[in-house]
């Protein structure tokens, strides 16, 4: 998080480092908080546990669910067995993305020589989004509010994002069948129609007459589908000369 909370909330999935294993549980350090937690042996795994060392190892990192919080004593209990496989995978992915986004932010601050203003900028950013990964999304999409980051930091942030993150590409595929109708069209008509499909940003792969493979790409599925729609509209102009069958 941009400004870290003091303690996690009950029910929150957290990352823990297992520091010391005892006969009836283990003491853990919370990776994202300046706090420790206790892992009771009954929360290590389902079923009866004869030897706790068969299930956890000192120095290991894992995802756990917070099952008890006492803020007055800063006492926390966590559970490993209450975390699903999906929750564990999502937590690890989110943590890795957050650390990467934080790294980019710190690099942009350093590149702009604004280390002395970093805490002030973090406070401003935290009023808009709680995490660095969300901050990265806002800046990369140009949706960040004016004044949230210094202009030179924002510029450096965008440059680092552009160099480090390859834009995700979404693809859609369609099959196309083109047949000449009577004497109204010929092979040149087909070539002209396909050139207009390509002009719409759609790749055409010949699979053997009269079959073709159409591929469109974009930063999202709607954008890619929009190219296919434009190609389809271009083909409609040849409906009196060509029989067109397009399928996804």
Report pLDDT digits (tens) over 159-186.
999 999 887 889 999 999 999 987 777 8
Of 21, 12, 20, 23, the residue nearest 79 (C-alpha): 12
Of 160, 162, 163, 134, the residue nearest 148 (C-alpha): 134
Comparing 181 with 36, which gets the higher pLDDT? 36
176 Cβ contact list (under 8 Å, min separation 6): 197, 204, 211, 212, 213, 214, 244, 245, 246
State the average pLDDT for the chain. 93
Give, rounded to a whole angstrom, the gap between the first and last alpha carbons of the chain: 42
Hey, is 215 helix, strand or coil?
strand
pLDDT in the model for residue 129: 94
Report the alpha-carbon distance of residue 90 to residue 20 in Å, rounded. Answer: 26
Helical (H) or strand (E) element with 231: helix 221-236
Q: For the segment 99-148, what is each residue's pLDDT rounded down to a tens digit? A: 999 999 999 999 999 999 999 999 999 999 999 999 999 998 888 898 89
Largest CA distance in the chain: 88
122 Cβ contact list (under 8 Å, min separation 6): 2, 3
């Amino acid at each position: 998080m941009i400004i870290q909370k003091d303690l996690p909330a009950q029910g929150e999935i957290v990352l823990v480092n297992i520091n010391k294993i005892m006969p009836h549980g283990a003491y853990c350090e919370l990776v994202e908080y300046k706090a420790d937690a206790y892992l009771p042996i009954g929360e290590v795994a389902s079923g009866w546990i004869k030897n706790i060392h068969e299930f956890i190892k000192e120095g290991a990192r894992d995802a756990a669910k917070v099952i008890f919080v006492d803020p007055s004593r800063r006492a926390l209990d966590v559970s490993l067995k209450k975390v699903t496989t999906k929750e564990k995978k999502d937590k690890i992915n989110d943590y890795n993305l957050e650390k990467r986004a934080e790294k980019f932010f710190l690099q942009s601050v350093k590149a702009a020589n604004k280390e002395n203003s970093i805490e002030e900028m973090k406070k401003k950013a935290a009023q808009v989004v709680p995490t660095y990964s969300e901050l990265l999304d806002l800046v990369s999409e140009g949706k960040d509010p004016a004044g949230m980051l210094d202009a030179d930091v924002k510029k450096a942030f965008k440059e680092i994002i552009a160099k480090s993150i390859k834009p995700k590409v979404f693809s859609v595929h369609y099959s196309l069948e083109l047949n000449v109708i009577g004497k109204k069209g010929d092979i040149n008509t087909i070539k002209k129609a396909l050139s207009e499909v390509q002009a719409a940003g759609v790749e055409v792969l010949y699979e053997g007459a009269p079959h073709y493979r159409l591929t469109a790409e974009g930063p999202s599925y709607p954008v890619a589908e929009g190219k296919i729609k434009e190609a389809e509209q271009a083909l409609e102009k040849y409906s009196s000369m060509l029989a067109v069958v397009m399928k996804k």
